[in-house]
Amino acid sequence: MKLLFVADPLESFKTHKDSTFAMMREAASRGHELLACEAKDLSWQRGGQVCALTRRVKLTGDAHDWFAPEAHRVVNLCEVDAVLMRSDPPFDSEYFYATHLLEQAERDGARVFNKPSSLRDHPEKLAIMEFPQFIGPTLVTRSAAQIRAFHAEHQDIILKPLDGMGGMGIFRVGPDGLNLGSIVETLNKHGAETVMVQRYLPEIVKGDKRVLIIGGQPVPHALARIPQGSEIRGNMAVGGKGVAQPLSARDREIAESIGPVLAARGLLLVGLDIIGDCVTEINVTSPTGFQEITQQTGFDVARMFVDALELSLSKA
């Protein structure tokens, strides 16, 4: 098969931990042809089909110069067997436009994973609203007054922007309410932007667990991102320590409930963020954690992913 990865620049990959690289390596081991482009390389013109300026990815096995340079060529997306949208967040306007180009490619006959319309319909912070039985006390609002009331009720809260990634822009306000007004003004831009507020979950000290769901089925191990030092965030991007561990009964209950629902909407790969017993985010753009889980447990996440991809394509 011919697989096109729409991803960040290949030169930026940290191959020792990059999940897209793990997918590529597993697919190549099965004899699949790999192509890559960036979202900026997608284009469409009336009378034609969505195409991309791509380059063939030939893996070298070298940890540093991991791919052999190939000449760029234009490829119609409907001519490859699968398009894998793996551009990292944030989900900004350009990402949004890319999903529309990919959706047009679907009309041309392309198979795109994750499904472009579902990427748009499941913003990673707000998607949890569909599953209130699995989340902690949560407020989504622009109103400073509502945030103050939420803090008065719950005392210890987390505030975060809806378009943040990697733990950026997350604040904790304790019972003393110190700096709550200033933080709200910073995040909601004096009422111009919507903020998510959640009750602080003390279980974060044991890790913010990334539970991967592939083809509706949970990977049997989670990656607990454990905050270090005085940091409240477990995100790897801000220094969290990743520790793989078997799914708890609650993790599995949540994953087995949410997973099939999202898989039916064309979301082949989903990453749930779970603190304690509560889902805090549902990641659909470019979930990671493949290599850390595989390295620590021996469970081959990339193999499970490519198995699920091949199965989905066989049903076309």
Catalytic annotation, residues:
125, 160, 210, 225, 233, 273, 281, 283
The one-letter amino acid at 312: S
Residues β-bridged to residue 55: 36, 72
3-state secondary structure 185-226: HHHHCCCCCCEEEEECCHHHHHCEEEEEEECCEECCEEEEEE
Residues β-bridged to residue 54: 73
Question: Can you give the C-alpha Rg of the chain in angstroms?
Answer: 20
Token pair in block for residue 247: 């799914």
Spatial separation of the C-alpha atoms in residues 36 and 280, rounded to whole Å? 32
Place of tokens 């910073």: 186
Q: What is the sign of the dihedral through the CA atoms of 168, 174, 177 and 179?
A: negative
How do beta strands 82-85 and 269-275 pair?
Answer: unpaired
Place of tokens 């990977």: 219
Place of tokens 């509502």: 146
- Contact call for residues 212 and 218 (beta carbons, < 8 A): yes
Query: In Å, what is the CA distance from 258 to each residue of 21, 198, 253, 254, 279?
Result: 27, 20, 9, 6, 10
Number of H helices, E strands in the chain: 8, 19
For residue 246, count other CB atoms closer than 10 A to its CB: 11
